[in-house]
Amino acid sequence: MKAKTFFTGVGVGLVTGMVATIITAPQAGKQLRSTIIRNATTFKDQLIDVKNETSNVKQSIITFTEETKNNMPKIINELKETIVTFKNEIEPETEKLKQEIENLQNSINEIEKNIPQTRK
């Protein structure tokens, strides 16, 4: 939803609410005008607060986006370096494990060769 559409809806809703209040108000004219002015001032202050908060959120998003753009290449490079370092560190262990697996496979093959001979 676009902000303009949202604020248009809020404005229409407030005007409608004010008109409904005027029509159904159980107050005298002078008192009603005073209440309307007070409510209009309160609404204006609240609308300014919403505008300021929206501006703050927008600025926060812009700042976050800029920081992400600036830091993402650094983070990616650090991650790549970490992966390369990890691969280099585990390579000797990987070779040992491959050798152990090969030895186990050879032992299994040897056992399988001897099993038929023991059954006879």
Domain that holds residue 108: 3-119
Contact 33, 51 (CB under 8 A): no
CA gap 108, 120 in Å, rounded: 20
- What pLDDT does 119 receive? 55
Domain count, the chain: 1
pTM of this structure? 0.41
How confident is the model over 101-120, as pLDDT tens digits? 999 999 888 888 887 665 55
How confident is the model over 2-58, as pLDDT tens digits? 777 887 888 888 788 877 777 776 666 678 778 778 888 888 888 888 889 999 999
- What pLDDT does 77 receive? 92
Nearest of 10, 12, 28 to residue 20 by alpha carbon: 12
Query: Is the pLDDT assigned to residue 59 strictly greater than 90?
Result: yes
- What pLDDT does 27 receive? 64
